[in-house]
């Protein structure tokens, strides 16, 4: 019971922190309350995140133990995390600086079109989490883990990264920045490199993965790669 209460408290604290820190982050980098794109974007992320977290806390609270773990076991992943994290952050920071200093001015039509695309990417990620309760933040396997080949995993082997790429490519435009697309593009080779090492770990440690790999040919994008 104490463990359950402790886990619930951590989930609530994480949600409260997300609702406070994400808008604060955009306020700091953008320097303006008039940056309406940022506040819409916050809703795009935080509302589905909250609904998902409440649902998952009821059905599989252990999921959050895996998602809250950030320390990579694989040395290759630790190196990738060290130089990749600044690029992922830049995809959010550059649009803020762009707004602050007026570097670019995407048309309203492009901004409005990018917002549902960013939401779609994030919903793909959440759908992956719902299908695969073992989808942790780190590249590793768990003692009770079972191979998941249903839902989005029947289409590509790493659908979470597909969703991440869709979200990241749309995010700078949704935030009103062309320049932010450059670091967003930089996330693609990072994820491709991560997948290469992750596949090695899964073949080595997850029973049945090599057979699944033969069945589902594409890693990230159907009919492409």
pLDDT digits (tens, 9 = 90+) for 50-88: 999 888 888 777 777 766 666 777 788 888 888 889 999
Main-chain phi, psi angles of 181, to 5 degrees? -65, -30
Closest alpha carbon to 166 in 140, 143, 185, 144: 185
Average pLDDT over residues 94-106: 96
pLDDT at position 146 is 85
Q: What end-to-end distance do the CA atoms of the chain give, in Å? A: 46
Quote the pTM value.
0.90
Q: Which CATH number applies to 2-215?
A: 1.20.120.1630
Q: How far is CA 5 from CA 8, 11, 136, in A?
A: 5, 10, 21
pLDDT at position 163 is 96
Is a pLDDT exceeding 60 seen at residue 1? no
Average pLDDT, the chain: 90
Spell out the domain ranges in the chain: 2-215
Report pLDDT digits (tens) over 12-36. Answer: 888 899 999 999 999 999 999 999 9
Q: Give percent of the chain with pLDDT exceeding 70.
A: 94
């Amino acid at each position: 019971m104490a463990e359950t209460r402790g886990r619930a408290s951590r989930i609530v604290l994480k949600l409260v922190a997300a609702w406070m820190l994400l808008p604060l982050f955009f306020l700091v980098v953008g320097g303006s309350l008039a940056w309406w794109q940022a506040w819409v974007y916050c809703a795009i992320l935080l509302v589905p995140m909250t609904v998902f977290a409440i649902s998952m806390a009821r059905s599989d609270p252990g999921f959050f133990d895996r998602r809250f773990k950030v320390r990579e076991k694989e040395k290759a992943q630790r190196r990738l995390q060290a130089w990749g994290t600044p690029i992922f952050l830049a995809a959010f920071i550059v649009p803020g600086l762009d707004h602050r200093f007026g570097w670019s001015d995407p048309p309203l039509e492009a901004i409005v079109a990018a917002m549902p695309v960013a939401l779609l990417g994030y919903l793909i990620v959440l759908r992956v989490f719902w299908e695969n309760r073992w989808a942790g933040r780190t590249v590793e396997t768990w003692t009770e883990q079972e191979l998941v080949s249903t839902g989005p995993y029947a289409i590509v082997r790493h659908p979470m990264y597909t969703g991440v790429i869709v979200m990241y490519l749309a995010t700078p435009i949704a935030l009103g920045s062309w320049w932010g697309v450059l670091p967003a593009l930089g996330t693609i080779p990072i994820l491709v490199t991560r997948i290469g090492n992750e596949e090695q770990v899964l073949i080595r440690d997850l029973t049945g993965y090599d057979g699944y790999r033969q069945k589902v040919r594409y890693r990230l994008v159907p009919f492409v790669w």
